[in-house]
Amino acid sequence: MVNTVVVLAACGLLAATLVDQAWSANGPVIQQCPSHGDIQPCVCTVKKNGGLDILCEFTDLQHISSTMAVLKGKPSLVIFYLKLRHNNLPKLQGFVFLGMDIRHLTIHNSTLAVVEESSLSSIGKALTQLDLSQNSLVNVPTPALKSLDRLLIFNLNHNKINLIHANAFEGMSTLEILTLYENRLTSIERNAFAGTEKKLKRLNIGGNELSQVPTEALQTMDNLKKLEIQENKITSIREGDFIGLKTLDMLILAHNYIKEIPAKVFQNLPMLNSLELDGNQISYIDKDAFLGLEENLQYLRLGDNNLHSIPSDSLRRLHRLRHLDLKANNISFIAEDAFTGFGDSITFLNLQKNDIKTLPMMAFENLNSLEIFNLQNNKLTRVPEEALEAIVDTATVIDIMDNPLICDCELRWYRDWLKELRHKDDDDIIQKKHILCLMESEHREYSVLNLPVDRMNCVGKKYQSSANGIGEAQVLSRLLMVSVFVVHRFK
């Protein structure tokens, strides 16, 4: 479609008419913005994909009503986006959009407190997205919503709703995304989401004041894929809390006040792929906490909690786990068998901001798929090659920044590994950080990349290397292979 711009000049005034093509219920129509003077202070543009985009900002009910009257007089217009933002619009009056074809309606940050029952009824057959965020609604305007039987996305974020009553979204059978983030919810009644069960895929009730999982309201949501309950006041979760959510793919419980994860609490979530529990107060995880998640769980976030060790017994059954985040806990040691049974699938491991002082020799031998390993901001003074030998071939990031590292011969391998990455052009941004170590004899810090090996008196085969970083053992191995070839060739 080609936009045609016709510029008309008359009496020293310049007006612009934008023309495009869109589809109405009766077929293709030519879209043309009303003159700016007719809808001022609102502005209109024609979208490339057809239809009008009308924006009304920083104005009041009188001016908005005047603009709507102009638009009602042009019944052939297809309005893809009607955006009423930052206005003084405390009440949405009945039949305000009568005769208009609106696909996406936004009334944002406009002091809206009342939505009259007949205010949206005339646009229900076309409206697919409704945004009433950042207003003053104290309850879900159910009577006004009953005719919105084609709505796909409904945004009620940042209002003052404290209760979702039964059948609050009745009639919204096509709804796929519903967000109520940062309201004042303390209670969600049974059957609150009745009528949305067949299509609703994402529900956000985060940023509220819920003290427990609203199980009775959720248990019929058997097509839900993503549930966000973060930033509430939930202190505990129990077996049965998530019953009925058999297709759930992602569960976000971050930043609550949960102290422990009991047995079988997630057993009704067989399809769960991602679980976020970071930012709680978790100090105990039952060994059967993740029972039922064996086949699909790949992403687990347990950062910013009160764990004192890696919860290996709880994690062993998760043989498909790829991403494990344990940052900012109180982990002070890593057991030799910490990753036995589940470590071979992990590609991302985050242990930053803990209290780890040493790396055991055999702890990481099962992490043969690991690509990113974050040990930043711990209490490591030494990082022996033997401890990480099993992962150096697969890892692209081993971050040991902000540790009290000692410049010694055991760190030389890490310097060579970093340089080798740079040669391969695999130098991730994290490798460019300024990783420092302390030369105790000189009371001076050095960048690990500039480790002064010539003054460190490193002796023994493991510290000898050729100019290109290949160790003596590797050189001898290659010489032996050449000798065998020569003997065989001339035998």
d(CA 148, CA 171): 7
The mean of the pLDDT values for the chain is 87
Residue partners of 342: CB distance under 8 A and separation at least 6: 315, 316, 317, 318, 319, 321
In a domain, 479, yes or no: no
- Residues 37, 123, single domain; the answer is yes
Residue 28 has a pLDDT of 54
Assess whether pLDDT exceeds 60 at residue 441.
yes
In a domain, 480, yes or no: no
In a domain, 443, yes or no: yes
The residue from 269, 293, 317 where one domain ends is 293
- Residues 414, 323, single domain; the answer is yes
Residue 49 has a pLDDT of 75
> ∠399-400-401 over CA atoms, to 5°?
95
Domain that holds residue 313: 307-453
DSSP string, 4-46: EEEEEEETTEEEEEEEEEEEETTEEEEEEPPPHHHHTTSEEEE
Residue with more model confidence, 422 or 75: 75
Residue 470 has a pLDDT of 39
- Residues 324, 354, single domain; the answer is yes
- pTM for the predicted model, two decimal places: 0.87
Assess whether pLDDT exceeds 50 at residue 100.
yes
- 457-478 tens-digit pLDDT: 887 545 554 334 434 444 344 4
In a domain, 316, yes or no: yes
Averaged pLDDT, 286-311: 97
- Residues 130, 208, single domain; the answer is no
DSSP string, 293-308: -TTT--EEE--SS--S
DSSP-assigned letter for residue 455: G
Element (H, E) at 485: helix 472-489
In a domain, 10, yes or no: no
**Total domain count for the chain?**
3
439: nearest Cα among 406, 413, 401, 403? 406
Q: Are 67 and 56 in contact (CB under 8 A)?
A: yes
DSSP-assigned letter for residue 253: -
Assess whether pLDDT exceeds 70 at residue 145.
yes
Assess whether pLDDT exceeds 90 at residue 91.
yes
The residue from 293, 326, 345 where one domain ends is 293
Residue with more model confidence, 14 or 254: 254
Assess whether pLDDT exceeds 60 at residue 16.
no
Name the β-bridge partners of 399: 374
Residue 422 has a pLDDT of 65
Name the β-bridge partners of 276: 252, 301
Residue 466 has a pLDDT of 35
What CATH number is associated with residue 381? 3.80.10.10
- 384-406 tens-digit pLDDT: 999 999 999 999 999 999 999 99
Q: Are 379 and 400 in contact (CB under 8 A)?
A: no
d(CA 202, CA 214): 15
- Residues 249, 311, single domain; the answer is no
Averaged pLDDT, 114-131: 96
In a domain, 369, yes or no: yes
- Residues 325, 388, single domain; the answer is yes
Assess whether pLDDT exceeds 90 at residue 479.
no
Q: Are 117 and 89 in contact (CB under 8 A)?
A: no
In a domain, 53, yes or no: yes
Residue with more model confidence, 24 or 34: 34
- 30-60 tens-digit pLDDT: 688 999 999 999 999 998 877 899 999 999 9
- Residues 289, 311, single domain; the answer is no
- Residues 337, 361, single domain; the answer is yes
Residue partners of 335: CB distance under 8 A and separation at least 6: 309, 310, 312, 360, 363
Assess whether pLDDT exceeds 50 at residue 2.
no
Assess whether pLDDT exceeds 90 at residue 29.
no
Assess whether pLDDT exceeds 90 at residue 168.
yes
Assess whether pLDDT exceeds 90 at residue 11.
no
Residue with tokens 């502005």: 43
Q: Are 202 and 176 in contact (CB under 8 A)?
A: yes
> In sequence order, which ranges of 189-307 are alpha helices (DSSP H)?
215-218
- Residues 313, 434, single domain; the answer is yes
- Residues 243, 326, single domain; the answer is no
Assess whether pLDDT exceeds 50 at residue 251.
yes
Report the phi/psi class of residue 333: left, alpha or beta, with left for phi > 0 and alpha for psi in -120 to 50. Answer: beta
The residue from 244, 266, 293 where one domain ends is 293
Residue with more model confidence, 229 or 471: 229
- Residues 244, 124, single domain; the answer is no
- Residues 272, 353, single domain; the answer is no
In a domain, 487, yes or no: no
Residue with more model confidence, 274 or 425: 274
Paired sense of beta strands 101-108 and 436-439, if any:
unpaired
Give the count of beta carbons closer than 10 Å to the beta carbon of residue 159.
Answer: 24
Residue with more model confidence, 227 or 51: 227
Q: Are 54 and 72 in contact (CB under 8 A)?
A: no
